[in-house]
Amino acid sequence: MCNLIHEAHQHSLSRRGLLAGVMALGTETALAGCSSADTTTTSAATAGTFAYVDNARAHRTRLVLLGTAGGPMTWIARHNGGDQTRHGIATAVVVDGAIYLVDCGMGVAHQLRLANLGKEGDFHGYEGLRSVFLTHLHSDHTMDYFNIVLSGWYQGLPGSAPVEVYGPGDRGALSPISGNTDAPVVNPENPTPGTVDMTNYLTQVFATDINDRLRDSGKPGLDKLIRTHDIQIPAAAAARANDNQFPVMDPFLVMEDDRVRVTATLVDHGAVYPAFAFRFDTDDGSIVFSGDTAPTPNLITMATGADILVHEVIDAHWVKALYGEPPYSPEEEGFIEHLLHSHTTIEQVGPVAEEAGVKTLVLSHLAPGNNPTERWQAAAAGFSGDLIVGEDLMEIGVGERTS
């Protein structure tokens, strides 16, 4: 799971075998840098800080990768002659100026401002922001969600209507205990709040500031800035926490307006429930977001025929290298299995995209965030379309150019 990525990284700092493991990973990287001859690979690392794939700004619809890191941390990679920063996972779909945000990882408010998605010289960060979609409620996907609310008064909100926020509802039951048998229950009266309750709690946390802004600065109430929704899973799916978390199902409608139609399905992110993938259908093409997931039939059904699949990926060699050379202790074996069974590996992601028949596979939520680009390009194996290794602030055009 996302938080386990950070815990694994922390564990490795004192692990005696780390150096040997990392050196072994470097060897694997050198061998795995080759990609399929039939696959095009693209990286922003070769195109500067802002990478515009296929002249993205000439398109009515485009995909903007605001943050591409996996896990609740900011990664800095030092290779290719410079530093490369990956902020927390967050992505925007921009359709004729309307912005739809998927996940709100660390730094999303900063990245939205830096991406300058509005009119040049007249953009403060959130103008045009219509909706926010949260794939699941791990902190690395929600960490800066409320930053958008609190800074919204000064960065372009409210617009003509509140920003609509869609995310998972109450889990319904605590997840099973794994590892820490003495784990305390936080907030026992409501231990698994959904998006609506989470937002209400955050409003209470910042009550002093919010009340001052309303009373002393005359700012509009939060109901003018955002409106939250717990995504309702169709009852026919019979989904339940802990024992039926991603039943085979058809994608279901979450939201539709004059620019996009957004559908969702349940995916397999270990103990996390609900965990969603989203599909955005526009007049110019379709974009699917995997969310955090192991290979899941529901995702392949949803992504079938999509123009772009934005998919998470984890490097299994990195996970194992964190614990040095085998043999591993039973605890370490369990941790490795737990992490890899909640995500999609480099070797798995290409075949997933191929089975779905997507045109372009974009890798994001990269774990680790400091891998050499060549290592991620190994995901081209088993995929006959175009592979793009995502970078922060990369923009990708969808459909035909308008100019």
Q: What are phi and psi of 366, to 5 degrees?
A: -85, 125
Residue 245 domain-assigned (yes or no):
no
In a domain, 320, yes or no: yes
Residue 241, domain member (yes or no)? no
User: Using an 8 Å Cβ cutoff, are 367 and 376 in contact?
Assistant: no
Q: How far is residue 160's CA from residue 249's CA, in Å, rounded to a whole number?
A: 36
Report which residue type is found at 181: T
The range of the structural domain enclosing residue 18 comes to 2-173+190-233+253-401
Q: Does 384 reside within a domain?
A: yes
- Give the residue with greater pLDDT, 181 vs 146: 146
343 in a structural domain: yes
* Sheet strand arrangement including 394-401: 52-53, 394-401, 59-67, 90-95, 98-102, 129-133, 163-167, 226-230
Is the pLDDT at 21 greater than 80? The verdict is: no
DSSP-assigned letters across all residues of 156-168: T-S-SSPEEEEE-
The phi and psi torsions of 243 (rounded to 5 degrees) equal -130, -10
Q: How many CB atoms lie within 10 A of CB 98?
A: 18
Q: What whole-number distance in Å separates Cα of residue 373 and Cα of residue 33?
A: 8
Contact 94, 61 (CB under 8 A): yes
Choose between 126 and 42: higher pLDDT. 126
Which residues 6+ apart lie within 8 Å of 385 measured at CB?
A: 39, 353, 354, 358, 359, 360, 361
Helices (H), 14-158: 18-32, 108-115, 139-142, 145-152
Residue 240 lies in a domain: no
What one-character DSSP code corresponds to residue 345? B
pLDDT beyond 50 at 36: no
Supply the pLDDT for residue 403. Answer: 80
Would residue 216 count as lying in a domain? Answer: yes
Cβ-proximal residues to 119 (8 Å cutoff; 6+ apart), any chain: none
Q: Is the pLDDT of residue 319 over 90?
A: yes
Contact 166, 263 (CB under 8 A): no
pLDDT of 218 > 90? The answer is yes
Closest CA relative to residue 5, chosen from 327, 378, 268, 338: 338
- 126: number of Cβ within 10 Å: 26
Q: What is the pLDDT averaged over residues 235-263?
A: 98
180 in any annotated domain? no
Per-residue pLDDT band for 93 (boundaries 50, 70, 90) equals very high
**Domain of 367: which CATH number?**
3.60.15.10
- Find, among 92, 83, 162, the residue nearest to 133 by Cα: 92
CB 329 within 8 A of CB 22: no
- Tell me the C-alpha to C-alpha distance, in Å, between residue 353 and each of 29, 157, 302, 378, 382: 22, 37, 11, 14, 9
Q: pLDDT at position 179, please? A: 64
Decide: residue 234, CB within 10 A, 0-12 exposed, 13-18 middle, 19+ buried: exposed
| Segment 64-93 mean pLDDT | 88
Give the position of tokens 């922060």.
392
Q: What CA–CA distance (Å, rounded) separates 307 from 399?
A: 8
Task: Using DSSP bridges, classify how beta strands 75-79 and 82-86 pair: parallel, antiparallel or unpaired.
Answer: antiparallel
Spatial separation of the C-alpha atoms in residues 136 and 289, rounded to whole Å: 12
Give the lowest-confidence range in 193-197, 305-309, 321-325. 321-325
List the structure tokens of 33.
């840098």
3-state DSSP of 322-340: CCCCCCCCHHHHHHHHHHH
What region, left, alpha or beta, does residue 178 occupy, with left being phi > 0 and alpha being psi -120 to 50 degrees? Answer: beta
- For the chain, the domain total comes to 1
Q: Which has the higher per-residue pLDDT, 123 or 280?
A: 280
Check residue 213 and give its pLDDT: 98
pLDDT in tens, 143-165: 999 999 999 999 999 999 999 99
**Least-confidence region, from 74-78, 116-120, 235-239:** 116-120
Lowest mean pLDDT among 27-36, 145-154, 361-370: 27-36
